[in-house]
Amino acid sequence: MTTTKQLQFSGYHRRQSTQEDAELTRVGPGTPGGEYLRRFWHPIALVEEVGELPLAVRILGEDLVLFRDRSGRLGLLHRHCAHRGASLEYGLISQHGIRCCYHGWLYDVDGTILETPSEVDGTKIRRRLAQGAYPTHEHVGVIFAYMGPSESKPAFPVYDTFAYSGRERTIPYKLSQPCNWLQAHENGADPIHTAFLHARVARVQFSPQFLELPTLDFMETPIGVLSIATRRVGDRLWIRASDVILPNSAQFGTGYFGENDELFLLTAHTTRWIVPVDDYNSLAIGYRHLDSTDPARLSNESQIGLNKVDFMGQTPDRPYEDRQRNPGDYDAQVSQRPIAVHDNENLASTDRGVGMIRRMIRNGIRALAQDKPMEKPIRYADGKVPTYNHVVVLKVPERAGVDDMELCHEFGRRVGQIVVDTAHEPVADRQRIAEARVRTMIATELPQAQVVSDSSVQNPVSTN
């Protein structure tokens, strides 16, 4: 049995492992994790980054070049020319494809060779050789790529979040971070950090409601994990339930609302992917959804885009000492080492979502290694993929004789299940149907006891 004295000044006896979980973290060609990730579409650049010159990019440990030829088609090719290895970042964009500067070989956007002008008879070469290339897809200002085998290419997944475009403004953004993709991605499955990193440990970074400790629940969905945090705010309960979508996407609801607001939103404040650049670097590429997901009207469109997003703590732009005093997501994620070493962790009860995501990704990696078919998300009739992110703020006062933490947990769990159960409903009707079911559940299924006065509800203070 370990004694208190044995725990004191125990650095010598607590040697740290340096061996990362390579199955989950390594992303290069031929690695188990890299092969799994290559079966999905990934955002790789903003449309605004692709101009008159080729753009050198590195994704999943591969050096590539992205360009738009003069006919308007996107090309994503292996960066080094198949002839003598000169970089196509110095290639000349043509009407059809890109021409290597070194000997003039011309490659189409699919990698086929159109011309070999340095060869007297290049016909044989064009028949037997091609430049490595990957398919691309443009979606709302972002360029996506599929880097797996062509015979396994899935349909491009359009989340139902984007079905609300008639009343939303959706703005893409892209950030860089010097750490492995997994530790940045699984932050979305760790809702308890919002109370500490974003409110209690330093200062309130977003909404003061984050000071309240939430009850937590985690629910598997057809696309990943629903990470549910439910808090009491006066006589209302606030659910902020985030989609953590396999393998590397997530959606988050707003953290801002007014003192008397009631909300029921199945739309997201942010949709983002964490894309591996290589084992030690990653990109956060995604979208900010404005208007109805921002009831407090705190969005700042001018601060969303390349290397910027309009909520604090996502970049290293602030002075180092300021980040020490008031660290953000970037600092917490990057400081775990370039690749977080899981053997050094001591996961606790609030880390259940992190454990679920790691297990699900590992299961996917191993299923692929055993040649099992990849699971595909359910879709609406119009092809859109149902998602489960939701923000709910509704009046549910404390009830005499009922443990309020249990009430919060039960409310969060039941609402989450209703959101999952309504995924088959038409996109245009789903939010209305889900809200009606939740209000009926509040009136008929939650304990109905005498309401306790609001004056008994106290806000916790910062631990600083």
Chosen domain end from 136, 152, 168: 152
How many other CB atoms are there within 10 angstroms of residue 120's CB atom? 6
pLDDT digits (tens, 9 = 90+) for 340-391: 999 999 999 999 999 999 999 999 999 999 998 877 777 777 789 999 999 9
Would 4 be classed as within a structural domain?
no
Token digits for 299? 């969005």
28 inside domain: no
Residue 247 burial (CB < 10 Å; 0-12/13-18/19+)? buried
Percent of the chain with pLDDT over 70: 95
Please indicate, yes or no, whether residues 107 and 221 belong to a single structural domain of this protein.
Answer: no
CA 42 to chain centre: 11
* CATH assignment at residue 119: 2.102.10.10
- Provide the pLDDT confidence category of residue 164 given band limits of 50, 70 and 90: low
| pLDDT for position 462 | 37
**Do residue 324 and residue 405 come from a single domain?**
yes
Residue 321 sits in the same domain as residue 258: yes
Tell me, yes or no, whether 182 and 320 share the same domain.
yes
pLDDT digits (tens, 9 = 90+) for 99-158: 999 999 999 999 999 999 989 887 788 889 999 999 999 999 999 999 999 999 999 999
Number of domains, the chain:
2
Decide: 1 and 155 in contact? Cβ < 8 Å: no
d(CA 381, CA 102): 50
pLDDT digits (tens, 9 = 90+) for 276-299: 999 999 999 999 998 766 777 778
Q: Is residue 450 part of a domain?
A: no
Q: Are 247 and 344 part of one and the same domain?
A: yes
Amino acid 135: pLDDT: 98
133 and 268 together in one domain = no
| Residue-wise pLDDT tens digits, 389-439 | 999 999 999 998 999 999 999 999 999 999 999 999 988 899 999 999 999
- The mean pLDDT of 229-254, rounded to a whole number, is 96
What CATH number is attached to the domain comprising 318? 3.90.380.10
Q: Are residues 192 and 276 in the same domain?
A: yes
Residue 72 has pLDDT above 70, yes or no: yes
Containing structural domain, residue 132: 41-152
Q: Which pLDDT value is given to residue 448? A: 65
CB-CB contact of 365 with 24 (8 Å): yes
Domain end (from 152, 182, 209): 152
Partners of 215 in the β-ladder: 230
Residues 264 and 229 in one domain: yes
Angstrom distance (rounded) from CA 144 to CA 232: 40
Q: Does residue 450 carry a pLDDT above 80? A: no
pLDDT at 284: 98
Residues 81, 136: one domain?
yes
Is pLDDT at 455 greater than 50 in this prediction?
no
Q: Which amino acid is at 300?
A: N
| Together in a domain, 127 and 174 | no
Considering 152, 173, 206, which residue would you say is the last residue of a domain?
152
**Same domain as 237, residue 99:** no
